[in-house]
Structure 1
Amino acid sequence: MSRSSRKFAAAVTAVAALIATPALAASDSPSFVEDGVFSVCQDPTFPPMEFMSAEQKPVGVDVDVVSALAAHWGVEPKVMTMDFSGLLPSLSASRCDAVISGTLLTEERQKTFDGVGYLNTFIVIVAKKGAAPFASVEDLAGKTIAAQSGTKYVEELNQMSAALEAKGLSAINVQVYPKQTDAIQQLQVGRVDGVMTQDTEVAYREFENPGQFETVWTVPLETPQPYAAYIRPNGDDKAKLAKAIAALIADGTLKGIVETWKLSPSQLAGIGE
């Protein structure tokens, strides 16, 4: 068994013990699990949030969160995989009950869907180890930065680029790729100066392959921007989802999941309050 396979096996075993949560009364469960299944759309190309194991099974933080929520409600979890750009359209079309896939909580998305945060995170730009850090957004002028299509990163980079051009500086050369793994590959072969991603992915890649990448810039935010579980608006489903997430934090389940995947429990600060 490879080193990565052993890690995946250990992680699955550790999390299985964490999510043996007693089932709730039906009145405490949201309407979308009335059929006894909690189906979730995910794009498994964003470790450690979700990715494919050596056995070609979805694993990661979000896969474990789905299982924990399903156990909390006493239903079966079901993960449906697809490209990131198809996640929210699939939710809108009722192909799944929720999207839990490293998807940031944004005002724009909440115009259409109900979102509940479950893990704080920051947007960063990662470069090859040894690259000079960016002191400010002005240092991005003229740089080639990659991002995954359908993500907030593309919008973020385009807004930064427009602001730079308004100041008379060079635009950012924004390169968009269908998968996050594609964007990282472009960095590895030297075709881009950096990749916009999340601090969670950087932590995981450093854990798996120390010394390859480093964070060269963190997008300034007044508060962390959480990953969110998105559902279709329907009655008190959002309140029941939020209550379930708060319960999984209170009983230590989410903390155990976060620690299993080598993230920091501090990323749960303020969630569920």
Structure 2
Amino acid sequence: MSKSFKTGILCALAFAAATVPSIAADAQPSFVGDKVFTVCTDATFPPMEFFESAGNAEPVGFDIDLAKALATHWGVESRIVVSEFTGLLPGLDAGRCDAVISGIPLTPERVASYPGIPYFSTAVVVFAAEKSDLAIADAAELSGKTVAVQAGTSYLARLEKINEALAKDGRPAIQIQTYPKQTDVIQQVLVGRADAAVSQDTELAYRNLQKPGQFKTIYAFPDTSDFAVFVKRIDGDEAAVSAAVAALVKEGTLAEVAKKWGTSVDSLVPGVSQ
């Protein structure tokens, strides 16, 4: 996320807080009128959302706890709907859920269609197997390498943009492999079908915490982005969700969630207190 775009998002939220004083921290969005908060997520992205084992009926993770905390804040039940990543925002459009919370970064393209309420700052990284001798100082040095990414993510757009620059310089393109699930991406690196892969710093930190010595970060993109709660563009809903996220940060609930899943409390986005 560019610095100007990120600044613009936060300024817009601050403006909403100033111009809609009637939205209090306990205001309810329209979609919880049925007393259920339904969230779509892709449970293949630890520690944000994942299944601890194949037999688990429900996913766990930072975002799952966030969804449940929001539901508790509004005094309603939570319901989690699991979908592949490419089906998340279409599922929101189709009414299968009230919000999408799935470790999805804010981007100008997404915000053009869906209001996004930031809650966690993160960085995109390139990683390889620990045993790999691949080392790069710039993403363009992935030229000619095979890199795995999850389909429908902003990672793919990043690599395609790098390939455009490589083509202009007459250099070999990055060989991009796309997979429906992040767990599939991880597997390609482990078995050696991909030289590297792209993910968030949160996932790599968690995986290295669970199984040390499997992966190493070989490059971190200089820009940061914010994971966001995406909702439909309905009057009052964005402000109500923003107020609720701000309240969860202020009362310490999200700090407890961050510590539980091994992520940085300093990465929490305070939201807008209204």
Aligned positions of 1:35-74 closer than 5 A: 35-54=34-53, 55-56=55-56, 57-74=58-75
The aligned counterpart of 1:233 is: 233
Spell out structure 1 runs of 4+ moving beyond 6 A.
24-27
The aligned counterpart of 1:192 is: 194
- Is contact 2:25-2:247 (8 Å) kept? no
Amino acid aligned to 1:178: P
Cα distance in 2, alignment partners of residues 271 and 232 from structure 1 = 18
- Is contact 1:87-1:99 (8 Å) kept? yes
Tell me which of 213, 227, 231 is aligned to 2:215: 213
Cα distance in 2, alignment partners of residues 247 and 133 from structure 1 = 42
Cα distance in 2, alignment partners of residues 232 and 269 from structure 1 = 21
Amino acid aligned to 1:74: G
Deviation string, structure 1 residues 57-85 (Cα, Å, up to 9, x no partner): 21000000000000001000000001110
Q: 1:271 to 1:125 in 2, by over 3 A?
A: farther
Amino acid aligned to 1:77: S
Cα distance in 2, alignment partners of residues 272 and 254 from structure 1 = 14
The aligned counterpart of 1:170 is: 172
Cα distance in 2, alignment partners of residues 111 and 152 from structure 1 = 15
Cα distance in 2, alignment partners of residues 151 and 189 from structure 1 = 22
The aligned counterpart of 1:154 is: 156
SS of alignment partner, residue 171 of structure 1: coil
Cα distance in 1, alignment partners of residues 153 and 34 from structure 2 = 31
Deviation string, structure 1 residues 170-202 (Cα, Å, up to 9, x no partner): 111010011100011010000111111000100
> Which structure carries more relative contact order (alpha carbon 8 Å, separation 6+)?
2
With structure 2 as the length reference, what TM-score do the two structures score?
0.87
Cα distance in 1, alignment partners of residues 29 and 263 from structure 2 = 29
Aligned residue pairs, count: 248
- Is contact 1:119-1:271 (8 Å) kept? no
Aligned positions of 1:108-127 closer than 5 A: 108-127=109-128
Amino acid aligned to 2:155: Y
Cα distance in 2, alignment partners of residues 99 and 171 from structure 1 = 33
- Is contact 2:243-2:271 (8 Å) kept? no
Cα distance in 1, alignment partners of residues 232 and 112 from structure 2 = 11
The aligned counterpart of 2:243 is: 243
Amino acid aligned to 1:67: K
The aligned counterpart of 2:28 is: 29
Cα distance in 2, alignment partners of residues 92 and 212 from structure 1 = 38
Deviation at 1:137, TM superposition (A): 2.3
The aligned counterpart of 1:261 is: 261
Amino acid aligned to 1:196: V
Deviation at 1:25, TM superposition (A): 8.9
Most deviating of 253-262 and 134-143: 134-143
Q: 1:30 to 1:83 in 2, by over 3 A?
A: same
Amino acid aligned to 2:62: V
Deviation at 1:272, TM superposition (A): 4.0
Aligned CA-pair RMSD = 1.7
Aligned positions of 1:101-140 closer than 5 A: 101-130=102-131, 131-140=133-142
- Is contact 1:125-1:196 (8 Å) kept? yes
Q: 1:216 to 1:25 in 2, by over 3 A?
A: closer
Deviation at 1:53, TM superposition (A): 2.2
SS of alignment partner, residue 135 of structure 2: coil
Most deviating of 160-169 and 62-71: 160-169
Deviation string, structure 1 residues 75-110 (Cα, Å, up to 9, x no partner): 000000011100000001111000000111111011
